[in-house]
């Protein structure tokens, strides 16, 4: 969970070094963390940071963007992330974070817009290294992007994949999320960098874990949601033993199930 002690370091970022510059995926959850990421990059290469790809506009992935903007990096995001910048949700989250994550998120921390908003699969090459940016939402968010580096088989999955922990569903489109994971499986990546949790050389296993969890949520909640039965009773009747030993189960699972319960009702005719 985010705290001043961890500086909101609860999500992943990554970077790819090419002969002509560095491509960063996500910017972490505070300017201080982004500065630490820049230091890490500088230990490995003097090449300039050319681009930052935002997988989605959630606070733990974007509060470091202003640091990369100061380094003249081009920021790329999905166009459906644009409304977050002027939304009450974005403003309220930032105001709350300034209180709960001080001094790492403060009055100097601000939301940063992309320089390039995309709405379709986009490919670019830097230093003879190709990158494929794949829109995969609506899933975890409407604006989800995944980034594939074909030459290495590395997939930056953003929050479509949570490794060894319970995913945060929030207001996600769980049905679309499962479909997006099925689409990512067809890419057959060799290495996956999830939005949360360690990277893995067993990419298909990690994709399956998140997909199986979401499928179980939907299977467990569908009957009660459609029949307008009690959520509390449906939740209590569900066997959660397969997942209750994972980190964040107590913090997230009940909320996840309730959000899926509500979303299934909205899906029903």
Residue 35 in any domain: the answer is: yes
Residue 82 in any domain: the answer is: yes
Residue 177 in any domain: the answer is: yes
Torsion region of 225: left, alpha or beta (phi above 0 gives left; psi -120 to 50 gives alpha): alpha
CATH code for position 46: 3.60.15.10
Residue 253 in any domain: the answer is: no
Residue 8 and residue 26: Cα distance in Å, rounded? Answer: 14
pLDDT in single tens digits along all 269 residues of the chain:
899 999 999 999 999 999 999 999 999 999 999 999 999 999 999 999 999 999 999 999 999 999 999 999 999 999 999 999 999 999 999 999 999 999 999 999 999 999 999 999 999 999 999 999 999 999 999 999 999 999 999 999 999 999 999 999 988 999 999 999 999 999 999 999 999 999 999 999 999 999 999 999 999 999 999 999 999 999 999 999 999 999 999 999 999 999 999 999 998 66
Residue 64 and residue 113: Cα distance in Å, rounded? Answer: 12
Residue 147 in any domain: the answer is: yes
Q: What is the pLDDT of residue 269?
A: 67
Residue 124 in any domain: the answer is: yes
Residue 268 in any domain: the answer is: no
Tally the domains of the chain.
1
> Residue 184 is part of which domain span?
14-202
Q: What is the pLDDT of residue 1?
A: 87
Residue 195 in any domain: the answer is: yes
Residue 176 CB partners (closer than 8 Å, separation 6+): 137, 138, 139
């Amino acid at each position: 969970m985010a705290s001043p002690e961890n500086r909101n370091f609860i999500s992943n970022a990554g970077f790819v070094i090419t002969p002509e510059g560095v491509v960063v995926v996500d910017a972490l959850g505070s300017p201080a963390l982004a500065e630490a990421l820049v230091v890490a990059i500088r230990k490995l290469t003097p090449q300039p940071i050319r681009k930052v790809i935002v997988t989605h506009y959630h606070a733990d992935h974007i509060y470091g963007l202003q640091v990369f903007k100061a380094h003249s990096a081009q920021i790329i995001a999905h166009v459906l992330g644009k409304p977050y910048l002027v939304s009450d949700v974005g403003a309220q989250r930032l105001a709350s974070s300034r209180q709960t994550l001080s001094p790492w998120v403060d009055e100097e921390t601000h939301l940063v817009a992309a320089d390039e908003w995309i709405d379709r699969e986009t490919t670019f090459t830097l230093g003879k290294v190709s990158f494929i940016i794949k829109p995969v939402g609506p899933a975890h968010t409407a604006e989800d992007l995944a980034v594939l580096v074909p030459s290495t088989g590395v997939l930056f999955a953003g929050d479509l994949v949570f490794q060894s922990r319970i995913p945060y569903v929030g207001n996600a489109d769980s049905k679309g999320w499962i479909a997006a994971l099925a689409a990512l499986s067809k890419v057959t990546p060799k290495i996956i960098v999830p939005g949360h949790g360690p990277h893995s050389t067993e990419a298909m296993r990690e994709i399956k874990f998140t997909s199986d969890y979401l499928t179980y949520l939907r299977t467990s909640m569908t009957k009660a949601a459609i029949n307008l039965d009690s959520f509390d009773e449906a939740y209590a009747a569900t066997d959660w033993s397969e997942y209750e030993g994972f980190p964040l189960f107590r913090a997230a699972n009940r909320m996840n199930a309730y959000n899926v319960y509500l979303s299934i009702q909205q899906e029903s005719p």
